[in-house]
Every structure is written in C-alpha cells, then in structure tokens.
Amino acid sequence: MRACEDWLGQHFRTSNVIKSIVERTQVPERTLKRRFKSATGTTLIDYLHNLRVEHAKRLLESTENSIEDIIADTGYEDPAFFRRLFKRRTGLTPSEYRRMFQPVVNAGKLLKN
C-alpha cells in the first residue's frame, strides 16, 4: 500500500486516478479499496481528496492563479463539488482561505523588493 500512496502522491492531479491505480496494481478495485483502508485507516478516495485539497491550499497561499485554474490544476472537473469539499474540509471557501494568506503573500513581495 505504500507504493499506492507514493504513486497517488505523484499522480493525484490526473483524471480517473482511481481507475489508473487499479490498472497499475492489477488488483480488483474493491479489494484495493479494502486493503488501502485496512493499511492506512482512511479510504482511498478520502486520501485522494486530502492530497488534492492540500495542493489547492498551497496554491491559494502562494500564487495569484484564479480559483478556477487551481481547481483544474488540482484534478477536479466540477468546481461546485470542489468548493463544497474544500469548505467541508477547511471550514472556509477557497476565496476566504486565500484572503487569510494575502497579508503573508504581500509581505513576501515587499521583502523581495
């Protein structure tokens, strides 16, 4: 399962990532999901969502990319789903989360000048 975690860590932004990892491991999807949960204590999809949300948080903190671009870069095709998921996991909308870090980003820019 460690190899699955590592692979997901590198490929979490691709579409159909669950299907890809099932094909890569050549383990039936149901069995893979059961083994992953047993080994990690979290479901495969929850692990994937966590990787994607953490990536989005880093981009929101450190870039000025549009939220739509960040959603696409993170691997989600449905912006509304991503926004609901992000709010459920962080307690903030992506815009609210970004505003929290604007003073930090702006201070970094001032220090560079």
Name the residue with tokens 């159909």.
Answer: 16
Question: With 90 as the cut, is the pLDDT of residue 104 above it?
Answer: no
Question: With 60 as the cut, is the pLDDT of residue 109 above it?
Answer: no
Query: Which pTM value belongs to this model?
Result: 0.85
Quick one: 21 exposed, middle or buried, by C-beta within 10 A (0-12, 13-18, 19+)?
A: buried
Mean pLDDT over each residue of the chain, to the nearest integer: 91
Name the residue with tokens 């970004």.
Answer: 98
Name the residue with tokens 């080994």.
Answer: 39
Contact between residue 44 and residue 18 where contact means Cβ atoms under 8 Å apart: yes
Please write the tens of the pLDDT for every residue from 43-94.
Answer: 999 999 999 999 999 999 999 999 999 999 999 999 999 999 999 999 999 9
Q: Which of 45, 42, 46, 73 is nearest to 57 (CA)?
A: 73
What is the 3-class SS of 34-80, one letter each residue?
HHHHHHHCCCHHHHHHHHHHHHHHHHHHHCCCCHHHHHHHHCCCCHH
Q: What is the extent of the structural domain holding 89?
A: 2-112
Please write the tens of the pLDDT for every residue from 80-94.
Answer: 999 999 999 999 999
* Domain of residue 30, CATH code: 1.10.10.60
> What total of structural domains would you count in the chain?
1
